[in-house]
Amino acid sequence: MQSNMKTPLLSSTPSDPSDSSAPPLSLSGPVVGIIGSGDFSRSLSIRLLSCGFRVVVGSRDPAGVGRGLFPEGVELRSQREAVEAAERLVFAAIYPEHYHTLLGLRDGLTGKVLVDVSNAKSLRGGGRQSNAERLAELFPMSSVVKGFNTVSAWALQVGAHDGSRQVLICSDCSASKASVLQLSRHLGFSPVDLGGLCASRDIEEAPLLLFPSWGGPMLTTFLLFLFFYAYNFMRHVLLPYLDKGENNFYQLPLVTVNETLPSVALVTLALVYLPGVFAAVLQLVRGTKYRRFPLWMDRWLCSRKQLGLLSFLCAVLHAVYSMCLTLRRAAGYTLLNAAYRQMKAGVENSWVEKQVWRSDLYLSSGILGFGVLALLAITSLPSVGNALTWREFTFVQSGLGYVALTLSVTHTLFFGWDFAFYPSSYPYFLPPVFLLSLVLPCVVLVGRILLALPCLTFRLTKIRRGWESRRHRPTHNPEPSVEVDPPQNFGDV
Amino acid sequence: MQSNMKTPLLSSTPSDPSDSSAPPLSLSGPVVGIIGSGDFSRSLSIRLLSCGFRVVVGSRDPAGVGRGLFPEGVELRSQREAVEAAERLVFAAIYPEHYHTLLGLRDGLTGKVLVDVSNAKSLRGGGRQSNAERLAELFPMSSVVKGFNTVSAWALQVGAHDGSRQVLICSDCSASKASVLQLSRHLGFSPVDLGGLCASRDIEEAPLLLFPSWGGPMLTTFLLFLFFYAYNFMRHVLLPYLDKGENNFYQLPLVTVNETLPSVALVTLALVYLPGVFAAVLQLVRGTKYRRFPLWMDRWLCSRKQLGLLSFLCAVLHAVYSMCLTLRRAAGYTLLNAAYRQMKAGVENSWVEKQVWRSDLYLSSGILGFGVLALLAITSLPSVGNALTWREFTFVQSGLGYVALTLSVTHTLFFGWDFAFYPSSYPYFLPPVFLLSLVLPCVVLVGRILLALPCLTFRLTKIRRGWESRRHRPTHNPEPSVEVDPPQNFGDV
Amino acid sequence: MQSNMKTPLLSSTPSDPSDSSAPPLSLSGPVVGIIGSGDFSRSLSIRLLSCGFRVVVGSRDPAGVGRGLFPEGVELRSQREAVEAAERLVFAAIYPEHYHTLLGLRDGLTGKVLVDVSNAKSLRGGGRQSNAERLAELFPMSSVVKGFNTVSAWALQVGAHDGSRQVLICSDCSASKASVLQLSRHLGFSPVDLGGLCASRDIEEAPLLLFPSWGGPMLTTFLLFLFFYAYNFMRHVLLPYLDKGENNFYQLPLVTVNETLPSVALVTLALVYLPGVFAAVLQLVRGTKYRRFPLWMDRWLCSRKQLGLLSFLCAVLHAVYSMCLTLRRAAGYTLLNAAYRQMKAGVENSWVEKQVWRSDLYLSSGILGFGVLALLAITSLPSVGNALTWREFTFVQSGLGYVALTLSVTHTLFFGWDFAFYPSSYPYFLPPVFLLSLVLPCVVLVGRILLALPCLTFRLTKIRRGWESRRHRPTHNPEPSVEVDPPQNFGDV
């Protein structure tokens, strides 16, 4: 029971066989050291304390630190004493510029885990050394672990109740990393292991970035929106105004936006499935899956989820805008004026069977396509996707994805009906916008159908199971591999 | 520090007190062995390596394996050497047909954990021995753990960023299983412990199955849809056409679908709550909760969540279809023709107070019922449901569920208004579809109200707290049980 | 291998280096004791058994307990034998009133972990001792851990497949708590560590509470709804009826509700951001962030997420109601009568450009505001929020939150257009409801703009990084703190 006190206490927390008879004292937790007495140090010490750890804060001038700033139970000592008191973990909560001032503590820190919690000052762009790497250089006999810098001091202090529970962690020493992973789980966070210490370059820059994986897809979607909006503006508003003096400017806030959104949604959805078709073609041509794709294609493949969700967002907005169309004053006026004209003309029944079928068919296929897209979006939620097996996930994201794309194309085709063949649909020689937006989706669908030809499917499946055409195989491989499902890397949004 | 090297290293990864002073070397991780050099082996070794493990791949012909296929850092050896180098875990990544070829490695594998990653060739239907069970028979001195077969080689290699992080694991040895659970967590997956090795029969077949728990509910919903669609088609389209030559075929793509969907949603919702009522009645009649329900009822009880979500899906589609009704050309033509007729007839005010109330009331109750159903669907998301206490979850799923059912019935009743009593509502002696769809929901609501009678509630609560009527109680049980809330097993979608 | 049997077995389950050579026996798991043979005991033993633990149930009269009630593999013994057989964990599954009957087992329980699973009988309101605290008093030499009381016996037995996986745990001994945390994770639950044993007062009352954090926000929203509904009823229905005999009662179920909902949504959204503005002002005035806010403000700050979600719910209902407006019979009649009047008056074109712009603009801004609110709601899902870094979460919840508020205010202003300046908009001297609902949002927006003035922002940022104005700083703090992002505690819904 007493011998317990001599063993490292942090590791004893989760599941140590040796402390099975630990006395029921609230202060029996492991001792964690923190160098620095600033804001982060305070918040961290409050949190550690409330989770049952003992905390020793090391300051260059412990007497000068306001005692009231730290909660009761935190010991304020010199830096050296804090480092020596710490049983395994020491947090370096000072500015990275001052890391060299810790060199005197080298001996005390030997064999201990030094946690670097600093942020990058600015985006360095990969090449430069990170703060954590510099710290590891200064203290070669300690294990440096990067982590906790993405957490705010406030979230640390009060507990991460809503969101942002994520702590990015990396280290070259897997045992030390495991301790910090465990600690962060214990403090109520969700640690994510990012591998070796070189990952600290990204981790330090993480707080400077906002949704880094969303930048490209959002820009793409925005440019598509701009293009289609400008095209619609010119075709329906500007040219009729210049040409015939028609005042259609009232369409700008809602009608033109609602004409633009479905085109953007459709093209973006095609962009989700295009790189998968490219990848399959490339693998077929190369005869192997063991050569890397070009960088731009790797990036594109990694942006598919974001593109898919942005496509869904545009589809949602299009649906809501459309359902609000009849709420508009303009819709009411148009109907009233039509009633007036019908009356004047003495037409008893204005029913046009063809138009009725057209509108019902494009609404139907649109609603169904939207429903399938919504299922895709729901399985993109982390907790839902995580509950699926890999085959189910692929089925939803690839299989249902192509169903959604096909339904969207059908929706557009029914909407366009036979207008594409009327000369009146080409005012100022500009084709209708739905024709433009159909180009890419049709390319994808045709590509997919070609790839589904038995001969190509057979070869592709072989390649994806690890087979390589002769010219790429370095030597003969006599060992049969376990039959794994083909790692189909196209079509999962 | 050096003694560390002698202890098994995998177990040291997460939280081993003994390696508190592990040297900060990136290659200090535990050694994992993989038998087989196929595609799965490559992907797994890449992943293990990047997570800080050391990997030894054993091949029957190590010289023949293309060195370039495996990343630097992976050691390629003979199978015997790989097994001996592995400190605790050995993956068997070869075809199950070749398991007998490993018999020569028995001695080396003694005391080690052998992980079977193979899939079933076809659905065997329970009775037959699984690959993992056969492996365990061949190696009685090793602990066989089943796992990782549901993961794709591709997801293994690049990391499971989006969805499908789930790894199903089972074993008869809980300590070995714990090691593999830990390993898979370490590799970034979400392991699910499915118990003893007999579960491997299901696990091996899992990759062959798509949403196994959804089959029955989806078939039920689809059959209901077919029935109601056919009924509506006959009543509103086919018979009027045959009888009077009315051409209502334009209703097929949208109007008939939208008449069918609410019936399906309502009946499916009733099917969610019906088995709970049955179960309560059965418990009341039997006087105990300790006898199993018949198998079909167990299955039905387990399908309630799926049925509830499918009911919600139908309700969503019904809502969207309904909101698109006024967008249809047909709606415009109908209104214009009505305006023409009103004008001709000289009716200044066509307002019918009764119809106004009817439409506003059924829309209101429909929207509210839909809103409550949406809350139920949201708490069915794993991450939301997981954050609720059990009582909150029951309150939402059972309490709010009945509110949704009641509101849906109200919606239908207001929609039907007093039409049920007009002879004109029974063309060709076919009752309106809303009457048909009300049967089951009304049975459920009446059953629930009867069960809420004080005498029955009292007895049911007692039974659910563990009380048994005399004829079922085997012996007298003098011990008071802890007061737990009644495990109410009806009404949670 | 055999020595394994002597070490505590629970701790060996997850990751014990010492059992690396554990024999592949299914019954090698740790032994857990349960005192009491009631319903909870049965369910718990079934669960433990199926997860590879060995279970000894202790009863006062083991011979009298029905053997058939417990599954095969559970050992039924006397209480003393069960306590002695347990290697580390003993569950006290009897009524808290009978805790004193266990006093004779004190010696056997010394050094063991005693888990209290009881519920409170009624809400005690904080002051009184909890069952777990009383148990700890009775057994000072055992570590008492509170937990598992929020789980239903049913969920225990069959596994928590859907939702309610949460187990609240607390203890004064962190090592014992860690063991129970580990155990509950092993049984498939999501344990939440709530700190010291004093938290057991809340944990025991948790099963009596329903959504405790939602009470205040829901009451607020409900009262706002009542007020605005009554106001609309008086202004549009009651007074016109009393005054001119107009019969507008048909508006009550839908139209009046839909006039009320947007006001409630807007004011509730303002209430989300108001306390943040207050907090910033208070920090500016006080010159420090290290003084606690008043209790009512702390509570308000903690209710922001709930208020935000309720605001979103009202906005969703408003959107759905609005989109159903044209489906109403009343809308059809109104249009037909308008067509009749237009015909009679001989107006060929009833188009009013101003009204067209107004309706399109308020629909547009409404849809966009609604879209942004939906993004906020999605990031409030635990699994989504958890995947964001802290800065991303703040950007969405604070940044996009203000965008949503601004768009909602714009929506309301366009809706109101210039009506506010017509005398006819003030019947019975009652201002239009949209004016009332704009007061609070405008206060918040003005406050936020003032706080964004450079001088105030600079000071506030300094304060939030830990700086304190001279009068509050107890002593000089020479240590530079790590640069953490400002813990912005307003604006995150």
Q: Write out pLDDT tens, residues A267-290.
A: 999 999 999 999 999 989 988 877
Q: What value does the mean pLDDT take over residues C160-179?
A: 77
Q: Could you tell me the pLDDT band of residue B229, with boundaries at 50, 70 and 90?
A: very high
- Closest-CA residue of C relative to A383 is C383
* Cα–Cα distances in angstroms (integers) from residue B289 to residues A49, A208, B273, B462, C69, in the given order: 46, 58, 19, 10, 11
At B311, list the tokens.
């009911």
* Cα–Cα distances in angstroms (integers) from residue B122 to residues A170, B54, B170, B200, in the given order: 42, 34, 20, 14
Note whether B479 contacts C52, CB cutoff 8 Å.
no
- Give the right CATH number for C214-345+353-465 from 3.30.1460, 1.10.540, 2.60.40, 1.20.120: 1.20.120
Nearest to A157 by CA among A70, A97, A265, A63: A70
Nearest to B470 by CA among B286, B292, B294: B286
Residues comprising chain C, all counted = 493
- Closest-CA residue of C relative to A156 is C487
Q: What value does the mean pLDDT take over residues A176-204?
A: 82
Contacts of B349 in chain C (CB under 8 A): 333, 337
Name residues whose C-beta falls within 8 Å of residue B285's C-beta, 6 or more positions apart in sequence: none
Task: Give the gyration radius of chain A's Cα atoms.
Answer: 31
Contacts of B317 in chain A (CB under 8 A): 367, 371
C359: pLDDT strictly greater than 70: yes
The whole-number pLDDT of residue B27 equals 45
The residue of C5, C27, C39, C61 whose CB has the most chain B CBs within 10 angstroms, and thus the best one to mutate to test that interface, is: C39
Note whether B8 contacts C28, CB cutoff 8 Å.
no
Helices (H), C116-256: 131-138, 153-158, 174-186, 200-205, 215-232, 239-244
What is the C-alpha separation between B93 and B57, in angstroms, rounded? Answer: 10
Q: What angle do CA C158, B310, C162 make, to 5 degrees?
A: 20
CB C411 within 8 A of CB C369: yes
The whole-number pLDDT of residue B470 equals 62
Burial group, residue A384, by CB count within 10 angstroms (0-12, 13-18, 19+): buried
Contacts of B359 in chain C (CB under 8 A): 327-330
Note whether B163 contacts A384, CB cutoff 8 Å.
yes
* DSSP secondary structure letters along B212-247: GGGHHHHHHHHHHHHHHHHHHIIIIIIHHHHHH---
At A376, list the tokens.
């895709």
Q: What value does the mean pLDDT take over residues C348-371?
A: 93
Nearest CB among B38, B60, B168 relative to A481 is that of: B38
Note whether A193 contacts B186, CB cutoff 8 Å.
yes
At C355, list the tokens.
């009204």
- Closest-CA residue of A relative to B316 is A371
Least confident of A15-19, A320-324, A352-356, B387-391: A15-19
CB B455 within 8 A of CB C13: no
Nearest to A142 by CA among A164, A110, A120: A110
Distance to chain B for C468, nearest Cα, Å: 38
DSSP class of A149: T
The whole-number pLDDT of residue C161 equals 53
Residues comprising chain A, all counted = 493
Nearest to B471 by CA among B235, B297, B288: B288
Nearest CB among C42, C157, C164 relative to B385 is that of: C164
DSSP class of C470: G
Q: Specify the 3-state DSSP secondary structure of B88.
A: coil
Nearest CB among B8, B338, B397 relative to C17 is that of: B8
At A68, list the tokens.
């009231």
Note whether B337 contacts A349, CB cutoff 8 Å.
yes
Note whether A253 contacts C12, CB cutoff 8 Å.
no
Tell me if A31-208 shares its fold with A214-345+353-465. no
Note whether A342 contacts B329, CB cutoff 8 Å.
no
Helices (H), B380-486: 382-385, 390-394, 401-416, 433-451, 454-464
A321: pLDDT strictly greater than 50: yes
The residue of A174, A340, A473 whose CB has the most chain B CBs within 10 angstroms, and thus the best one to mutate to test that interface, is: A174
Ramachandran class of C302: left when φ > 0, alpha when ψ lies in -120 to 50, beta otherwise: alpha
Q: How many CB pairs under 8 A join A and B?
A: 279
Nearest CB among C367, C390, C474 relative to A324 is that of: C367
Q: What value does the mean pLDDT take over residues C152-177?
A: 74
Note whether A383 contacts C382, CB cutoff 8 Å.
yes
Contacting chains of B (3 CB pairs or more, <8 Å) are: A, C
* Maximum CA extent, chain A: 103
At A224, list the tokens.
């598509």
What is the C-alpha separation between C88 and C109, in angstroms, rounded? Answer: 9
* DSSP secondary structure letters along A200-235: HHHHHHGGG-SSGGGHHHHHHHHHHHHHHHHHHIII
- Closest-CA residue of A relative to C354 is A250
State the amino acid at position A465 in one-letter form. R
Note whether C360 contacts A330, CB cutoff 8 Å.
yes
At C351, list the tokens.
């188009």
At C403, list the tokens.
């965008």
ipTM score for this prediction: 0.81
At A382, list the tokens.
């982390």
Mean confidence (pLDDT) of chain C? 83
Distance to chain C for A310, nearest Cα, Å: 12
Distance to chain C for B114, nearest Cα, Å: 11
A409: pLDDT strictly greater than 90: yes
Note whether B320 contacts A466, CB cutoff 8 Å.
no
Nearest to B113 by CA among B52, B65, B182: B182
- Give the right CATH number for B31-208 from 3.40.640.10, 3.40.50.720, 3.30.930.10, 3.30.43.10: 3.40.50.720
- Closest-CA residue of A relative to B378 is A378
Residues B375, B376, B380, B384: what is their CA dihedral angle, to the nearest 10 degrees? 40
Helices (H), C325-465: 329-345, 353-379, 382-385, 390-394, 401-416, 433-451, 454-464
Distance to chain A for B436, nearest Cα, Å: 25
What is the C-alpha separation between C233 and C237, in angstroms, rounded? Answer: 5
Distance to chain B for A368, nearest Cα, Å: 8
B224: pLDDT strictly greater than 50: yes
What is the C-alpha separation between C177 and A71, in angstroms, rounded? Answer: 23
Burial group, residue A337, by CB count within 10 angstroms (0-12, 13-18, 19+): middle
* Maximum CA extent, chain C: 103
Q: What value does the mean pLDDT take over residues A177-197?
A: 81
Cα A479 from chain centroid (whole Å): 38
Cα B175 from chain centroid (whole Å): 29
Beta strands across the sheet bearing B190-193: B75-78, B54-59, B31-35, B89-92, B113-116, B143-146, B166-171, B190-193
pLDDT tens digits, one per residue of B415-461: 988 788 888 888 888 899 999 999 999 999 999 999 999 999 998 88
C493: pLDDT strictly greater than 60: no
Nearest CB among C21, C67, C152 relative to B111 is that of: C21
Note whether C14 contacts B182, CB cutoff 8 Å.
yes
Q: Could you tell me the pLDDT band of residue A194, with boundaries at 50, 70 and 90?
A: confident
Q: Specify the 3-state DSSP secondary structure of C247.
A: coil
Nearest to C490 by CA among C454, C457, C453: C457
Nearest to A111 by CA among A87, A83, A143: A143
CB B371 within 8 A of CB B378: no
Distance to chain C for A281, nearest Cα, Å: 34
At A78, list the tokens.
């010199």
Nearest CB among C8, C391, C480 relative to A210 is that of: C391
**Phi, psi of A408, rounded to the nearest 5 degrees:** -65, -40
Q: Specify the 3-state DSSP secondary structure of A91.
A: strand
CB C484 within 8 A of CB A41: no
Contacting chains of C (3 CB pairs or more, <8 Å) are: A, B
The residue of A91, A257, A327, A388 whose CB has the most chain C CBs within 10 angstroms, and thus the best one to mutate to test that interface, is: A327
What is the C-alpha separation between C82 and C61, in angstroms, rounded? Answer: 12
Note whether C119 contacts B483, CB cutoff 8 Å.
yes
Contacts of A60 in chain C (CB under 8 A): 478-479
Nearest to B188 by CA among B159, B164, B163, B162: B159
Nearest to B179 by CA among A15, A89, A145: A15
* Cα–Cα distances in angstroms (integers) from residue B254 to residues B322, B325, B358, C172, C367, in the given order: 10, 9, 23, 64, 26
The whole-number pLDDT of residue C164 equals 63
Nearest CB among C18, C176, C389 relative to A166 is that of: C389
Where are chain A's structural domains?
Answer: 31-208, 214-345+353-465
The residue of A154, A260, A312, A322 whose CB has the most chain C CBs within 10 angstroms, and thus the best one to mutate to test that interface, is: A154
* Cα–Cα distances in angstroms (integers) from residue C196 to residues A155, A194, C132, C174, in the given order: 20, 32, 11, 8
Note whether C17 contacts B16, CB cutoff 8 Å.
yes
The residue of A61, A162, A316 whose CB has the most chain C CBs within 10 angstroms, and thus the best one to mutate to test that interface, is: A162
Which of the pair, B362 or B288, is modelled with greater confidence?
B362
Nearest CB among A13, A164, A328 relative to C385 is that of: A164
Note whether C350 contacts A327, CB cutoff 8 Å.
no
Note whether C351 contacts A337, CB cutoff 8 Å.
yes
Contacts of A144 in chain B (CB under 8 A): 24
CB C224 within 8 A of CB C213: no
Nearest CB among C175, C367, C371 relative to A13 is that of: C175
Mean confidence (pLDDT) of chain B? 83
Q: Could you tell me the pLDDT band of residue B212, with boundaries at 50, 70 and 90?
A: confident
B38: pLDDT strictly greater than 70: yes
- Closest-CA residue of C relative to A151 is C390
Beta strands across the sheet bearing A54-59: A75-78, A54-59, A31-35, A89-92, A113-116, A143-146, A166-171, A190-193
Note whether A483 contacts B317, CB cutoff 8 Å.
no
What is the C-alpha separation between C404 and C374, in angstroms, rounded? Answer: 9
Is the model's pTM score more than 0.90? no
A5: pLDDT strictly greater than 60: no
pLDDT tens digits, one per residue of A9-65: 233 333 333 333 333 333 456 899 999 988 888 889 988 887 778 899 998 888 777
DSSP class of A256: I
Contacts of C465 in chain A (CB under 8 A): 39
Q: How many alpha carbons lie under 13 Å from residue A32 in its C-beta half-sphere?
A: 33
Q: How many CB atoms lie within 10 A of CB B177?
A: 27
